[in-house]
Structure 1
């Protein structure tokens, strides 16, 4: 591995600093902690909270028809992106995930812009989920607010500090319980389904194209997109576990594709059955829509509603728990390579990046105090859609730039598949401005601050020993020799 003691070394874009010989020894994750089944469980757990709360705000924005069309478009985007990531994660299995792929395809700026967008998504998503957890806890015991948010952040950051293997196994159990709650919901709501309930939201006669199917008109489809994304958001985080997988070349594609297929079934079921059984108008702003739908059908104190409320809390916890894992690994990878302060990537005896868990957790808790779940969703989607565009573009570029790269798994349809996902991610990014200019503004401010940090400081202090930087150093050396 190449390194130097004077920044910048290779050009005016980035520079590398000399680090100690034991730098990487202090920044190691636990190998072999996850097989493909655990990875699939991780992918489902990232997202499953979106089935329990948050997606229903899309009904308010676009009615059932707008939310349905938005969900179909986003399901295509996610499925095609997942197929692209399956190839990339098997070819380049590092803890940086999407940042690593963009770093290789687009250079240090592309890598940093992608990694920071992912970090924006993963730092804010748990804050939104904490708000929804508060809603479910309130339904159960009447307690909500900052103390609930703080308790959950402290508890689950603490479990992650215990160790990756232990945390992932606990996450698997919680996800299994959450999946059971969705199955109970599906079985309970099928007999109550009535298609007329889907279209009971009042029609906005002033909106272009308004109808009972699209009560807010065509613009409602755009406005529903961020909430359709909530049904799948964060499944792309599976590759962040690559360095802790048993056999990433085989396990990563199987894990992420399996997770996506499960999520398609779950997402489609709650979207149709909740408003179809209880009415779209009732569901459009309900804090706990699955519980509310069952209560509407079977009564406030029904066994099914109580069960889904209690076990459904596990669904929110599963995503909250697993996205904490995701943001810590993204911070770890960016820090290890010098893009973020290096102390954030240090690991101890348990091979856990403690500061990468704690500091974003504090930021997330402070954001949760706003109590604005829908606003936080839109902010998370802002970062997510930028990263989706960058990752799918990276797939296209690497197919052209490095046709001989070892690809244990190849994306069906190749660059056509990733190209469609790329275009849909641009559409989704624009939709965040339709829903909330305030959310887009604050997301852009955070993004601009992070870009400034890289532009004026960290790009001159990268670490050549980091896996994501090694390729660049080797490529430069080969170019000089030739």
Structure 2
């Protein structure tokens, strides 16, 4: 485009370029989801956390400490999801966390918050692909006698789920509902088997030997509860992606808050079932170091001979989250690209009206990260596990930062835009957002105090330096009036593409110059 004054305007410390209707026609989405499609998306994104990952918190803090960490996070996620529901209903467009922070803290705040979610979702997808490949290879090796190199499985999984997410939003939402129901069914079946077989023993919850002066409930004391919080997040990590589906929801103002409420309740129940029954079957000490705790629980009940079938069940849960989190990074990158914070080609949608370019680029980034991980493992025994932990912790660190900034945004928006239309209001209000922000900050402090998390912090700081430098030097001067930007610039008067279209403010900002 020409860089003349006729097609550019400086607003809020950034330079905006006229997009025109053709720009948004190439970046359209399709409204396909009702409340249950959104519920399925939220549950699918999270449910793999019930199958593995959460349990390492028990190794840090014991069962009692992990139970306290779980309770703390229930409070944080209630405060956060209520707050996000209010902001999403007021801003029914795809930007999600970036959109909230953009309106509250300007372009830089929007970018920092949106980039945190990009890092969270791309890293989480890579972790799920890594573990899914291990499960899939174990199944084919046992049942078919076929084993493939890890990178082949990664390529297969990324290709399959990029294809699924790119095939159409309606297909994605239906798939999310199906795999969510199946995954919940697996957890319910395990729970019934654990209780009916007598494998669950209350004493197993407390079999970690206490340190001198400590108790069975908190065998390592109080401080390790802080270190258990990032692992307890795996029971809920990803539910916050719901606002990213706003432009693909039939009624986002009504359905996103409701779907968040029902998904949160579902995940609390499944999380408690796994936390108590899985630990009670194989014991707290074994659970704290298990690579596949739910499978180990099944094995303890029915024996090793059914391991391949059980692995197939666990794979369903992993694939559910793979689809849900891939949806999230695709829409997150799409919205930031559509507004000009990322390269604009990432927001192209094509005939299926899905952000296939963002989906593909995110997959390539994740694949490269896994290849680096695999190379480290080949040259240094044990480095693969360390690299895997770094990727996992990057995901959690990105999530915690995004949570904190979204809660800050909620408080600022209540003060900055007190009279803007809010079709849904958080029942916990500002106190709920402050509590959620404080807990997120507490988890961040836990990262700083635990040296095992330091490599993840260093890696994410490097990524941020690159993103922020690119914005300062280039992208800041090429922003577009997407719905998220229109809402922020107009103080809440514009920004609903369902009602106004995608160019409601161009005449105001550019003075109708062409």
Q: Quickly name the TM-score band, shorter chain normalised.
A: over 0.9
- State the 4+ residue runs in structure 1 displaced beyond 6 angstroms: 476-479
Q: Give the structure 1 partner of residue 179 of structure 2.
A: 174
Instruction: For residue 28 of structure 1, give the secondary structure of its aligned residue in structure 2.
Output: coil
**Contact persistence 1:381–1:432 (CA under 8 A):** no
- Measured after TM superposition, the shift of residue 20 of structure 1 is 3.8
Instruction: For residue 48 of structure 1, give the secondary structure of its aligned residue in structure 2.
Output: helix
- Measured after TM superposition, the shift of residue 276 of structure 1 is 0.9
* Distance in 1 between residues matched to 2:174 and 2:90, nearest whole Å: 26
Alpha-carbon displacement from aligned partner over 1:155-188 (angstroms, at most 9, x marks no partner): 1111112111112212221221111111111111
Q: Give the structure 2 partner of residue 413 of structure 1.
A: 428
Q: Give the structure 2 partner of residue 213 of structure 1.
A: 217
1:101-140 residue pairs with structure 2 within 5 A? 101-140=100-139
**Contact persistence 1:59–1:283 (CA under 8 A):** yes
Q: Give the structure 1 partner of residue 391 of structure 2.
A: 376
* Distance in 1 between residues matched to 2:240 and 2:85, nearest whole Å: 10
Instruction: Provide TM-score, normalisation by structure 2.
Output: 0.87
Pick the aligned partner of 2:154 from 149, 171, 194. 149
1:459 maps to 2:460? no
Q: Give the structure 2 partner of residue 422 of structure 1.
A: 437
Pick the aligned partner of 2:463 from 443, 446, 449. 446
1:99 maps to 2:98? yes
Unaligned runs of at least 5 residues, structure 1: none
* Distance in 2 between residues matched to 1:212 and 1:257, nearest whole Å: 34
Pick the aligned partner of 1:389 from 383, 388, 404. 404
Alpha-carbon displacement from aligned partner over 1:84-128 (angstroms, at most 9, x marks no partner): 111111111111111111111111111111100011100100111
1:402 maps to 2:417? yes
Q: Give the structure 1 partner of residue 191 of structure 2.
A: 186
**Contact persistence 1:52–1:312 (CA under 8 A):** yes
**Contact persistence 1:53–1:132 (CA under 8 A):** no
Instruction: Provide TM-score, normalisation by structure 1.
Output: 0.92
1:163 maps to 2:168? yes
**Contact persistence 1:45–1:322 (CA under 8 A):** yes
1:67 maps to 2:66? yes
* Distance in 2 between residues matched to 1:471 and 1:135, nearest whole Å: 45
**Contact persistence 1:58–1:227 (CA under 8 A):** yes
Q: Give the structure 1 partner of residue 319 of structure 2.
A: 317
Distance 1:5 1:116, change over 3 A: farther
* Distance in 1 between residues matched to 2:433 and 2:488, nearest whole Å: 24
Residue range with higher mean Cα deviation, 14-23 or 139-148 = 139-148
**Contact persistence 2:99–2:110 (CA under 8 A):** yes
- Measured after TM superposition, the shift of residue 226 of structure 1 is 0.9
Instruction: For residue 62 of structure 2, give the secondary structure of its aligned residue in structure 1.
Output: helix
Q: Give the structure 1 partner of residue 496 of structure 2.
A: none
Pick the aligned partner of 1:282 from 277, 282, 286. 286
Please give the root-mean-square deviation of Cα atoms over the aligned residues, in Å: 2.3
Pick the aligned partner of 2:354 from 352, 355, 373. 352
Aligned residue pairs total: 471
Unaligned runs of at least 5 residues, structure 2: 142-146, 374-383, 494-504
1:365 maps to 2:367? yes
Q: Give the structure 2 partner of residue 9 of structure 1.
A: 10
- Measured after TM superposition, the shift of residue 139 of structure 1 is 4.4
